[in-house]
Amino acid sequence: MEIGIVGKPNVGKSTFFKALTLKDAEIANFPFTTIKPNIGVGYVRVRCVDTEFGVKCKPKNSFCIDGNRFIPVKMIDVAGLVPGAHEGKGLGNQFLDDLRRADVLIHVVDISGKTNEIGEATENYNPERDIKFLEDEIDYWFFDVIKRNWSKISAKIRHGGKDLVKELTNQLAGLSINETHIKSAIKDTQLDEKCNDEDIKKFSVSLRKVSKPILIAANKIDIDDKGNYERLKDRYDMIPVCSEAELALRQATISNIISYIPGNSGFKILKNINEKQRNALNFIRERILNVYNSTGAQECLNVAVFSILKRIVVYPVENENKLTDKNGNVLPDAYILPNGSTALDLAYKIHTEIGDRFIGAIDCKTKKKIGREYLLKNGDIIKIIVGR
Ligand SMILES: Nc1nc2c(ncn2[C@@H]2O[C@H](COP(=O)(O)OP(=O)(O)OP(=O)(O)O)[C@@H](O)[C@H]2O)c(=O)[nH]1
Ligand SMILES: [Mg+2]
How confident is residue 30, by pLDDT bands cut at 50, 70 and 90?
A: confident
**E strand map for 25-117:** 38-47, 63-65, 68-77, 104-110
The confidence score (pLDDT) of residue 96 equals 87
Please name the residue whose Cα sits nearest to atom 27 of ligand 1: 29
Average pLDDT over the chain reads 94
Question: Is the CB of residue 295 below 6 angstroms from any atom belonging to ligand 1?
Answer: no
Question: Is the CB of residue 118 below 6 angstroms from any atom belonging to ligand 1?
Answer: no
Of the CA atoms within 13 Å of residue 120, those in its CB half-sphere come to 3
Question: Is the CB of residue 240 below 6 angstroms from any atom belonging to ligand 1?
Answer: no
Question: Is the CB of residue 222 below 6 angstroms from any atom belonging to ligand 1?
Answer: yes
Give strand pairing partners of 44: 71
**Interval between CA 269 and ligand 1 midpoint (Å):** 26
How confident is residue 306, by pLDDT bands cut at 50, 70 and 90?
A: very high
* pLDDT above 90 (res 193): no
Residue 359 DSSP symbol: E
The confidence score (pLDDT) of residue 317 equals 98
The pTM (predicted TM-score) of the whole model is 0.95
Of the CA atoms within 13 Å of residue 186, those in its CB half-sphere come to 15
Q: What is the C-alpha radius of gyration for the chain, rounded to an integer number of angstroms?
A: 23
How confident is residue 155, by pLDDT bands cut at 50, 70 and 90?
A: confident
Whole-number percent of the chain with pLDDT over 70? 100
Other C-beta atoms closer than 10 Å to the C-beta of 85 total 25
Length of the chain: 388
pLDDT tens-digit map of 220-271: 999 999 999 999 999 999 999 999 999 999 999 999 999 999 999 999 999 9
Q: At what angle do helices 164-172 and 179-189 cross, to 10 degrees?
A: 130
Question: Is the CB of residue 38 below 6 angstroms from any atom belonging to ligand 1?
Answer: no
Please say whether the dihedral angle defined by the alpha carbons of residues 232, 88, 37 and 337, taken in this order, is positive or negative: positive
